[in-house]
Amino acid sequence: MRWRGRQGSSNVEDRRGVRYGRAGGIGIGTILLALVAIYFGQDPSIVLQGVQPSAPTSEEVPYNESPEEAQLREFIGVVLADTEQTWGQIFNQAGGTYEQPKLVLFSGAVESACGFAQAAVGPFYCPGDRKVYIDLSFYQELQSRFGAPGDFAQAYVVAHEIGHHVQTLTGVSERNMAARQRASEAEANALSVRQELQADCYAGIWAHNADRSRQLLEQGDIEEGLNAAAAIGDDRLQKQSRGYVAPESFTHGSSEQRVRWFKRGFESGSVQACDTFAANSL
């Protein structure tokens, strides 16, 4: 990606020097459930609701940033700024105003409006405070565990989370949450898949604009994004973790579906093309 020398966003909040402790805490079982349910964007409150851990204590200590982390922080800021430009233009063309979210960098654990979360849950968006949360160490896992290296793969993660923010602003998240609460488990999972695939499609819309309007992308970038989308498909993750695939338990979509909807957003650049809830086939 051609990101160096570009302006970064002022909406990056750095909490990497904050350390948390708690007397009781959330059990490892809850953390594992959260890992399955919210990897790549699901609202952590869906899993953590009803869990009443003791209030975390925190202290702020100096954080020694490595040169690699400093570069990654700068990169994330540029990507966030570019998503702000993309969605600002789209909302403006539709007669609305885009409310820019904050992106919170944390290390190890973080307290959000959706509850206390550890880095094991991965990057997530919290609609309660309209912030994206990312522990930068996740990007090493993205490369080593999921086999998805490259700066555009890293940018895709941010763009997907911003897709969830767009869903919050447009009311999709609230409507889908209400529908899921009335549905059976299988139906709720299916609605979750549609929401996640729409966020993938929205990430593709950002990539479309970054490429066409600002020439941010280089040869091979889209392939990196498609590889990342495929790497975190429910079928592939389930196969890795349990040895078999259970489609009825999918919450994010298969690798094929995630790739398809990202490509749909990238090729069309159209919000209307991303209506996964109206699609007869995903």
Nearest to 167 by CA among 125, 107, 206: 125
Question: Taking the alpha carbons of 223, 224, 230, 231 in that order, is the dihedral positive or negative?
Answer: positive
Specify the pairing of strand 12-14 against strand 102-106.
Answer: parallel
The answer to whether 11 and 82 are in contact (CB under 8 A) is no
The reported pLDDT for the residue numbered 49 is 43
Q: Which residue type sits at 227?
A: N
Q: Which helix (H) or strand (E) holds 124?
A: strand 124-126
Q: Which residue has the tokens 């990007």?
A: 139
Distance CA 77, CA 91 (A): 21
Q: Which residue type sits at 72?
A: L
The answer to whether 125 and 117 are in contact (CB under 8 A) is no
pLDDT tens digits for range 226-281: 999 888 888 888 887 889 888 888 889 999 999 999 999 999 999 999 999 999 99
The answer to whether 125 and 132 are in contact (CB under 8 A) is yes
Distance CA 282, CA 275 (A): 10
| pLDDT tens-digit profile, the chain (282 residues) | 999 999 999 999 999 989 887 544 444 444 444 444 444 445 554 444 434 444 567 788 888 999 999 999 999 999 999 999 999 999 999 999 999 999 999 999 999 999 888 888 889 999 999 999 999 999 998 888 888 889 999 999 999 999 999 999 999 999 999 999 999 999 999 999 999 999 999 999 999 999 999 999 999 999 999 999 888 888 888 887 889 888 888 889 999 999 999 999 999 999 999 999 999 999
